[in-house]
Amino acid sequence: MKDGTQSSGSLGNPPTKHGTPMPETHFTKSPLAVELEAGTHYACTCGKSAKFPFCDGSHKGSGLAPKKFELDEKKTVYLCRCGKSGNAPFCDGTHKAA
């Protein structure tokens, strides 16, 4: 998967802390717990990915890029789906006040 750029779109939904829109279908007050392999992963920041919260390349041409993160080992991570985490793409508990 490559970094790229596309428009943020005009989804009219609450912006994430990154200033990008998030489709209401993706906006929840709970993180997604997912077990991931060690390596490089890309979290969607445009809200258009069919594999949200992971990037599927749908951001291309938007001017946005996915949030790249690395894991040293296979583990369960909690990915932000409220768009307010200060530690994106990971949940920091902010959704409890969202």
CA 50-19-40 angle, 5° bins: 50
Q: What does the alpha-carbon distance between residue 3 and residue 49 come to, in Å, rounded to a whole number?
A: 14
| Residue bearing tokens 């409220």 | 82
Total binding residues for ligand FES by CB under 6 A? Answer: 12
Question: What backbone phi and psi angles, to 5 degrees, belong to 67?
Answer: -90, 115
**Site track for ligand FES across 1-40, x = CB under 6 A:** ----------------------------------------
Alpha-carbon gap, residue 69 to 11, rounded angstroms: 25
Binding window for ligand FES (CB under 6 A); candidates: 10-18, 25-33, 52-60, 83-91: 52-60
Give yes or no for residue 80 binding ligand FES (CB under 6 A). Answer: no
Site of interaction with ligand FES (CB under 6 A): 44-46, 48-49, 55-59, 64, 66
